[in-house]
Amino acid sequence: MNEVKVLNSGEKFSHVSVGNLHGFEGKQFVKDSTGATSCEISFGTLPTGAAVPFFHSHKANEENYIILSGEGKFQVNDEVFDIAEGSVIRVATNCDRNLKCTSALPMTYICIQAKEGSLGGYTMTDAEVTERENLL
Ligand code: ZN
């Protein structure tokens, strides 16, 4: 059984871990542990031949699936395509989705769920270089 361990936290950050991904099984959401306010992040693993046991759709949130290991198939409504380690799949609201592992290795992935259309800035427009003593 997976659990989320809180490793460090401060006024401006939280650091949690689901542990070693090689032994990870099932699904684990981390928003409640990190206190995230902009997105929900989950880790998932599917063993060989397994798919998520249901299709689902989101009303307000898009999802971005990042495949960390393994290979498989992804279905959005009636379209099916191959996915593999390194794949990033963005799925819009109001459509059905599922994924299946077809490789001998389990398929491990991260899903990031955030409100569709909410990204107002990103690295090139939201970030700024700051002056800080490097303590690393
Ligand atoms: Zn979802």
Instruction: Encode pLDDT of 27-45 as tens digits.
Output: 999 999 999 999 999 999 9
Q: What is the mean pLDDT of the chain?
A: 95
Residue 1 has pLDDT above 70, yes or no: no
Instruction: Tell me the CA–centroid distance for residue 65 and ligand 1, in Å.
Output: 10
- Mean of pLDDT values over 22-27: 88
pLDDT confidence of residue 23: 83
Residue 100 has pLDDT above 70, yes or no: yes
Instruction: Tell me the CA–centroid distance for residue 135 and ligand 1, in Å.
Output: 39
Instruction: Tell me the CA–centroid distance for residue 121 and ligand 1, in Å.
Output: 23
Instruction: Tell me the CA–centroid distance for residue 108 and ligand 1, in Å.
Output: 15
Instruction: Tell me the CA–centroid distance for residue 115 and ligand 1, in Å.
Output: 12
Instruction: Tell me the CA–centroid distance for residue 57 and ligand 1, in Å.
Output: 7
Instruction: Tell me the CA–centroid distance for residue 130 and ligand 1, in Å.
Output: 36
DSSP 100: E
Which residues, including other chains, have CB under 8 Å from residue 36's CB and lie 6 or more apart? 30
Task: Sort 16 into a burial class: Cβ within 10 Å, 0-12 / 13-18 / 19+.
Answer: middle
pLDDT confidence of residue 3: 86
91, amino acid identity: V
Task: Write the CA distances from 130 to 13, 86, 127, integer angstroms.
Answer: 17, 31, 9
Instruction: Tell me the CA–centroid distance for residue 66 and ligand 1, in Å.
Output: 13
d(CA 48, CA 34): 30
DSSP E strand boundaries for 49-125 = 61-69, 71-76, 79-84, 88-91, 97-101, 107-115
Instruction: Tell me the CA–centroid distance for residue 133 and ligand 1, in Å.
Output: 40
Instruction: Tell me the CA–centroid distance for residue 109 and ligand 1, in Å.
Output: 13
Please answer whether residues 2 and 29 qualify as being in contact, where contact means their C-beta atoms are separated by less than 8 angstroms.
Answer: no
DSSP E strand boundaries for 3-60 = 5-10, 13-17, 26-29, 40-46
pLDDT confidence of residue 101: 98
Residue 59 has pLDDT above 80, yes or no: yes
Residue 2 has pLDDT above 80, yes or no: no
Residue 104 has pLDDT above 90, yes or no: yes
The rounded Cα 45 to chain-centroid distance in angstroms is: 11
